[in-house]
Chain A
């Protein structure tokens, strides 16, 4: 995991659920490249054409609420999203994203400080989020030690492999 992530922001409101992030009709897909094509397609059709590797999602409360579909985290990561900053997260989405090594940052008040297309810098260790376009700064909540360990391993799969002495397929 990189300590500082800088990218263009896509900004969403409250309660963006995992059906909006990844529609149920595509849940039979598993290849991350295929899964990436449907990211946010019903609610923000421009997202997939505008997103570039390293971009950041900024959202209000309860981002990723709803279903347990890991596809919601897979689709954002495979589309190039490097971090999601929100005022709070749905709990299963939170686990799924961290497991994949996609950093999620809880940052109260952030949705009001960033507009779509502005450049955002997420400073993981410092625990802050900076809007480089406007200069606005917001404090992020610190990650727990366990979450930091998962992200430091680049996701839970390498961590489990190491802990249990397993080799990849």
Chain B
């Protein structure tokens, strides 16, 4: 069980302390995310709650939102302000399943050609967030905005990543800038040591289950602590990715040796490194001890409806879904292959696997994990968002149960609103595919 430390009764969450947010008086200690916004706004300093107009370092558009181009035209946009700072991702409809999707992608390609946007990640590349990481396009200290809610993922690199809608992105295309409210910062300190078979996904589900799906709304969430230091970049990306499911505006992890080792030879340019000043006063601090924690899952129909896997053991599963920007990295396919190599999935269960990117797909192939999973009975889908958002490639029928390594179990998210979705770690997904029912993956990983 996860141990929580409570110092003050709030009736809400395990706390070390919950204080007031920092004030704006001169000389106060400043958080790294505030320094990123201040630099981007061209200001000496910013204060919590202030609205600042920031120059965006990198703006990403995805193919779901043709409205981005419509809003660009509706606002009178003619030329993109800085085409070198724009990336186009054809990832959600990759490859298109309807004529409308195909036509939307066609319009995006034409727009990019006309505007001189060279960073076009076409349907072979994969999900935006993984592609950004694979290509070293994200780096510490940058302000990154994508038309995708999971842009919080890039906090794993010490970047300020946040999701916006189509019109906000169109404003960046026209002006190079966007307004932001400077957020309060919450600190989540991870203590202890994870058991084999328990992962970052389990940690973040526990955090969201404890704090609630709206706890982080408008705020930034930072992860710290010894249990974090031991996590690789893939797991850190999963932690930051899922802060969206507690409503966070952005996530942050202070870059360390693990970060810089990952970025070595990959990151394309350097920004001044930022760090949080000693004595910064967080809006709240929470300490989670991960020692002895069991695999977690979020049961239908809310990401904060979290329980130990024990509570649902044996529940029959129609589809096990491994992939997406939350759970489709090399490490995720590797743990699934470790569980399934030389075995067969349950005959009554479909196992859909979607590598997060082409880079992930190639590496998983080189490792032999793709071979192992296909031999075990996996159905592979091209790197993309696929059925995570209920558009195509693995849609659920009424009454079906799915266990997924993706991020959301909202009603109707992956198909029929009468389907039941359990969100879990890649290991738990693979164990369920093998047994045809919700299972504890630890017995395969000791």
Contacts and interface: CB of A to CB of B under 8 A. Distances in A.
A88 B167 contact: no
Interface bin, chain A: 35 or more
Contacts of B165: 68-70, 73, 92, 95-96, 99
B84 to A, nearest CB: 20
A99 B75 CA distance: 12
A67 B414 CA distance: 13
A19 B389 contact: yes
Contacts of B192: none
B149 A24 contact: no
B163 interface: yes
B218 A62 contact: no
A62 B247 contact: yes
A131 interface: no
A73 B168 CA distance: 13
Nearest to B92: A27
B390 A25 contact: yes
Given A29-B100, A169-B73, A91 B217 contact: yes
Given A28-B93, A43-B412, A68-B148, A19 B247 contact: no
Contacts of A69: 64-65, 165
Interface stretch (B171-179, B223-231, B354-362, B422-430): B171-179
B213 A62 contact: yes
Contact of A19 (B71, B175, B413): B413
B300 interface: no
Given A15-B213, A92-B163, A166 B411 contact: no
A29 B70 CA distance: 12
Given A90-B247, A91-B218, A157-B71, A100 B389 contact: no
B171 A160 contact: yes
A14 B410 CA distance: 12
Contacts of B389: 19, 24, 27, 67
Interface in A144-166: 144, 146, 156-157, 160-161, 164, 166
Given A17-B410, A19-B390, A166-B174, A161 B164 contact: no
Interface of A: 14-15, 17, 19-20, 23-25, 27-30, 42-43, 61-62, 65-71, 73-74, 88-92, 95-96, 99-100, 144, 146, 156-157, 160-161, 164, 166-169
30 contacts: A15-B213, A15-B214, A19-B412, A19-B413, A23-B412, A24-B389, A30-B66, A42-B411, A61-B214, A65-B214, A67-B149, A67-B389, A69-B65, A70-B65, A71-B67, A73-B165, A88-B217, A90-B217, A92-B163, A95-B165, A144-B51, A146-B179, A156-B171, A157-B71, A157-B75, A164-B76, A166-B78, A166-B174, A168-B76, A169-B74
Top-8 shortest CB links A-B: A166-B76, A62-B214, A70-B165, A96-B165, A24-B389, A24-B390, A42-B417, A169-B73
